[in-house]
Structure 1
Amino acid sequence: MAMYGDVGDESDHDIDHLSLWHVTQCWAFLPHRPGEERMQSFRKARARLERLSLINLDRASKAISCHSLGYSWARERIPRPDEVWKASALTLALSTEERRDWQPFTPSLAQHFEMSFTMWLQMHGLSSSLFDQREVCRIWYAFAWQMYRASSTLTVGICKQLAEETKKLFDRENDALPMADVQYLLSIAYQENGQIKEVLELLEHVVRVQERLAEDHPGRLASQHALAIAYVPMGR
């Protein structure tokens, strides 16, 4: 938990990290039991689901996949879907933080990010009383990066939704830098789709906004590099 206190808290304007708020909210859904007791309960539930062929356990990779019927059954019987969504979204988002093994990690969870995003839109869009608006934008930012890395077809969709909500949030606070982070992510998602006109418009704007940052700031350098790559095919 200390890691999240170090990178920022709920009051800062950055969109590119989770906060201690996400950790404390996630704890609210976890049973307060000793660690070994929790693991025993998990293993017991896992074994029962495997016997019923509702999950498949790959013991070599230690990966668990769930049959699609399991998701459908759960969705139909959840008494408070918003609360369950909140718990699963927090768990997914926190599992992405500080990952260095994203290449094997991301593809295995891509379907879960996509499903979580789709379920949210089906329920009520990005605005919800369950979350502070900034905190839900941070969750979607974490999701969007993972979906981009997994070449998800939903990446542009989640980035556009995120850009819309982030603009509402930070226009009120008159701060363009957090919006630039989202626009950069949207631009490289567009680039993967071959939408060059949209890429150039966004990246040129992002580079102008990030002139406020230090010349060697990683975010500023990344957007300049992406813009230079976009210019090359045009002979610019």
Structure 2
Amino acid sequence: MSVRDGDTQVDVAVDNDVLLKAACYGIAQRFWPHAGEEPAAGVLGAARFVIASAIARGSRVRDKAAASKALAEFLSEAAVLEPTNAEVGAAAELERLAQLTGLELDVGESQLAAMTAGRDIALLDTGDKRAVRGLEILIDLSETCAQLGARVRCLEQLFLRVLDEKPGEFEAIARAVCAEPAVDKTASICFGCYSGGGMERDAVLVGLESYVGSLRTAAPRVLAG
């Protein structure tokens, strides 16, 4: 379903980077279990092509077939977010401000930020910590970013939420992460993938919480609680 002006309710906007990582781990539907319902999870229209290409061409992905299948399954349920002309303009202004201040913010991130801010979308999930830090700085420069307070979540927060809600899935998730150790360095460190895996759940949670705490220090206003 394509969503341009709010005709379908979306409660979380999912950026390409975090969806790529979730697909590689095969856990996208654990992160966003109600993607096909309302309120839905929404992705950019270009996500299908951009992420599929990243999987096919990426040297970090071991099981490309499984990642491609997981991506297709999630996208078959997710809403497709299409920016309005006003949102395209707001996104362009974010990119301009980011360039002026030496921040890294790509077109997809800026468009999702504009849609999250301008619509009744509760959360923006991203796998790019640089984008989170950039949005924090832009709060003081942009009316769009000023509306993103406590609405941005990072990958580690998604892991923490799932492991809290479904502790019985810890071992399966840990295996999934360590099967693709090059996909996200922080996740691999937290799950002990570089030391053979097998870390206890509590130790993994401490590691994830530590990284979230560090990011919260850098982005106290935009990062969700």
TM-score by length of 1: 0.29
**Greater share of residues in strand:** 2
> Relative contact order: is structure 1 or structure 2 higher (C-alpha 8 Å, sep ≥ 6)?
2
**Greater share of residues in helix:** 1
